[in-house]
Structures are given as structure tokens and as C-alpha cells.
Structure 1
Amino acid sequence: MTAKRTARLVLSLLAGLLLAGTVTTTAQAEDGYRFWGYYQWSNGQWAFAQKGADVTVPADGSVEGWRYALGGAKPRLPRAAGDFETICGATAAETGKKRVAVVIDSGTPADSVSGQAPPAATGTCVVTDPKATGAKVLAAVKPVRIEKGLTCGIAGYPATGCGDPVKNIQVPATDEPVQLEIGTPVGAANAPSPASAPTEQSDDGAPWTGIVIAAVVVLLLAGGGLVLSRRRTGQRT
């Protein structure tokens, strides 16, 4: 077993132990971890993933869930239902590909690292190769920060930290449900291509600048060669 999978398995086991406790009806202080939990929607509810996202291969029509939270003895599930039809219903099925709905819930301000505001919860439909793993499906939706084989940040949240232990946390009795922001499908035939998608940095004109410079250099070299040839011809005559 590689160090990457060992680290992932350790965190999964820790999270499983944390989530295995009895749900309390009131908030209470306890020790826990701040981390991204990985879930699957099954039989109308979220279930903690039994395997890491790098070895899990979600089936067509499945729903993957990610929730960032302070985890203790109480499960901290994604706060929105994994409704496949709501997320992927408007995205047509494609031959030779699968559709997977992805729910990303960055949690509450109380869950966050000090100074960082959690992004809104999102739902995105991913159209991808049938053999794509949960990790590949997630990476198709948002940039992922990986450290020591663990999913530490999604779309830059949080900017630092990874599965950090936290003393004396306050776990709420319940999490208020949230409304998902449904994003543009990823990988679908009618989805915007990467070339047309907006980017943070623009290189407009850069390729043409290089071509013009190269052309000028070629002309100068050609002109210099012509002059040199004429000089040699004149010397011979």
C-alpha cells in the first residue's frame, strides 16, 4: 500500500470513528477534526464513503457529496439533498459516457478556518468517462488541493490546513438545510468548451506578437544574407 493511500485510509478511518457516535439532541463540546468529508447519496440519504475518492468509481446516475466541517461524534453531512434530477435532469445522457451529480458543501462560518468565508453550496452535473473515479469527477468541477494524498481544499477553500485536529469544538445539534446553486454542466456536449470559457489571465495577442517577431527576424537574416552575398560577388568581380 502506498503512502498516499495509507494516509487517505487513516483519515477515512478517523472520520468513520468520529461519525459512528450516537447523534445528540443538543450541542456539546468535544474534540474533532476539520476536514472535507466524502459521501454518496444512497436510498434517499447521505452515507459516508467507505473508500477513498481515488479508488471509488461512481456509477451513471449516482450522486457524490463533499462537505467541509468540524467533525466530532455527530455526522456532518452535506446540507442539501442529493437530487440527481435537480442537478443532472436538464443534461442529456450521452452514449459511452456517464452522468454524475456532485454536491459541494463548504460548510458554515463556524466550521471555517478563521478569516475565511465558506463559498455557497453547489450542485454540478459531470458528464465523463464511465471509468472515471470520484477524485477525477470532483477535479472536473473545481480545482482540488491535494496534500499527502488527501483532499485538503476544493476551489481554494480552505486555503491552508488539512484534516487538522481541533480541541473543544462545538458541534450543533442540527444543520439547517441549504439551497444548492446549480452550476453549468461539465463535459456535456452542449457545455462551453475550455477555449471559450473565461480565464483569470488573458494572453490575447501574445501568439501573434511572437509570430510577428519571428517574421521580422527571418526577414533581417534573409536581408543580411543577401547583402553579404552581393558583397562577395562584388569582390570576385
Structure 2
Amino acid sequence: MRGARWAGALALAGAISVSVAGPAQAQEYRYWSFWDGAAGKWAYATQGPATLRPADGAVAGFRFTVSAESSAVDRPRAAADFGKLCSGTPEKSGTKRVGVVVDFGSAADAPDGERPPAERTACARVPEDASAAEALAAVVKPLRYDAQGMLCGVAGYPEAGCAEQVSGAGAAEPKASGRPSAAADGDGGPSAGLIGGGAVVVVLGAAAVWQARRRRG
């Protein structure tokens, strides 16, 4: 039952922004956050990357972070500068260009025994209807997901675990399985306030969609 409720909450990510009050605000999680770099400025994404379909000239940002509230999430440190990211990628009919910034976060946010890799930036050329998740998959590999479709690792970082609670009541140790630990809200994952607005990178069905596109291509 807990798994079903957690999967249901994830399905709503990026579509509903939920306010959180009380003890949940003190519980911090380590996870990948998602940012929209429209107009050259980072904004906390209001949709998940599987549903956001950026236009040509957009920038998508991914930042590994530790946070308890959406208002305190760290932005990607590289500028959301499409001109710089895609200066060497000309327009092409039937495709679009999306700048991608992957910020692996600070040493303070890293799991024990791991060191964050250097930041990565790229220009993804993808089909015109591609999502931000597909743009990420086009330029950075491998990507690691859990059973509910949450993005857990990018380019091997972190090596294991997925959205673990790292402080607050009931904090749990990382699990090597890549599944969320049974922690806050009784559903084993980040609080509703972090899920709302696409903070936690949820890509439900993105892997299947990407494979289908590859087969059609």
C-alpha cells in the first residue's frame, strides 16, 4: 500500500504544487532537482522533465542537492545561457536544440565516500516534440532510475541510493537498491512540498518513450 501511494504521489509531480507545514519542513532529502532556464534565468520547474517539452532555444538544468524546502533548493551554478551552450549547433529542420546543464552539487551534499564530478554542459539536438528528460538522455549517460521512475543517478553519480532522507526525524541510511527509503509522510520519499513543482526529478514512462523513439528512428 505504501508503494502504491508513493507511486501515485510521483505521478502528480510537476502537476500539483502542495504546501507543507509542520515537522516535514525539517526533513532534508538528497536528490536531483530540475530547473527551467527560460529567458536565461533559472526557475524552479513547475513541471517534471518527462512532461515539460522545451522549445528550441530552451535550457534544462539538473542539480544534485540536499534540501528540506523548495524555496531553499540550490540552483545550477552554470548560467542558463543557450547562446553559449549551443553556439556550435546550428538549426536543423525537424529537430530542436536544448541546452543542458548538469550540476553534481557540492562536496557537502555528496553521499559519504563520494565526490561530485565536474559540472557538465551540452547542447542536445532532439525531435521537436521531445521532453526535457529526453534531452538529458541524449547528452548524458548512463542514467539510473528506480522502480517508480525517479531519476536517481546521472553519469554514475551517486553510485547508489535514491532520494534518501538525510536529516530530521526518522532519517534513514542510503539503500543500495536505488529505491527511496521508508521515511517522511509514511510513503518512503521526499515530502509533498519537494515533489510539488517538479523539484524531484520524476520521469515516469520516459525510458519507454525514449526506446520507442529510437525504434521508430
**TM-score normalised by L of structure 1:** 0.60
Q: Alignment partner for residue 64 of structure 1, among 49, 60, 71?
A: 60
Larger Rg: 1
- Separation (CA, whole Å) in 2 of partners of 1:136 and 1:4: 24
SS state of the match for residue 55, structure 1? coil
2:144 aligned partner? 145
SS state of the match for residue 119, structure 1? coil
Worse overlay, 113-122 or 60-69: 113-122
- Separation (CA, whole Å) in 2 of partners of 1:7 and 1:155: 26
List, as ranges, runs of 4+ consecutive aligned residues in structure 1 with deviation greater than 6 Å. 2-5, 13-16
SS state of the match for residue 43, structure 1? helix
SS state of the match for residue 42, structure 2? strand
- Separation (CA, whole Å) in 1 of partners of 2:18 and 2:157: 22
Amino acid of the residue matched to residue 146 of structure 1?
A: Y
Q: Structure 1 unaligned runs (5+)?
A: 19-29, 169-237
2:124 aligned partner? 126
- Separation (CA, whole Å) in 2 of partners of 1:96 and 1:164: 40
| Offset, 1:13 | 8.5
**TM-score normalised by L of structure 2:** 0.65
- Separation (CA, whole Å) in 2 of partners of 1:109 and 1:14: 31
1:154 paired to 2:154: yes
Q: Structure 2 unaligned runs (5+)?
A: 21-25, 169-217
Q: What is the root-mean-square deviation of aligned Cα atoms in Å?
A: 2.8
- Separation (CA, whole Å) in 1 of partners of 2:117 and 2:35: 19
- Separation (CA, whole Å) in 2 of partners of 1:115 and 1:15: 34
| Offset, 1:43 | 3.4
- Separation (CA, whole Å) in 2 of partners of 1:39 and 1:120: 18
| Offset, 1:88 | 0.1
Q: Alignment partner for residue 8 of structure 1, among 7, 10, 26?
A: 10
Are residues 122 and 37 of structure 1, via their aligned partners in 2, closer, same or farther at CA, if it must alter by over 3 Å? same
SS state of the match for residue 161, structure 1? coil
| Offset, 1:5 | 6.4
1:92 paired to 2:94: no
Q: Cα deviation per residue 1:120-145 (whole Å; 9 max; x = unaligned)? A: 11110011100111111111112211
2:99 aligned partner? 101
1:220 aligned partner? none
Amino acid of the residue matched to residue 49 of structure 2?
A: A
Amino acid of the residue matched to residue 86 of structure 1?
A: K
1:43 aligned partner? 39
Amino acid of the residue matched to residue 89 of structure 1?
A: S
| Offset, 1:77 | 0.9
CA contact (8 A) 1:7 1:149 kept: no
Higher RCO structure, 1 or 2 (CA under 8 Å, sep 6+):
2
**Percent of matched pairs sharing the same residue:** 37
1:81 aligned partner? 79
Are residues 5 and 31 of structure 1, via their aligned partners in 2, closer, same or farther at CA, if it must alter by over 3 Å? closer
How many residue pairs get aligned? The number is 158
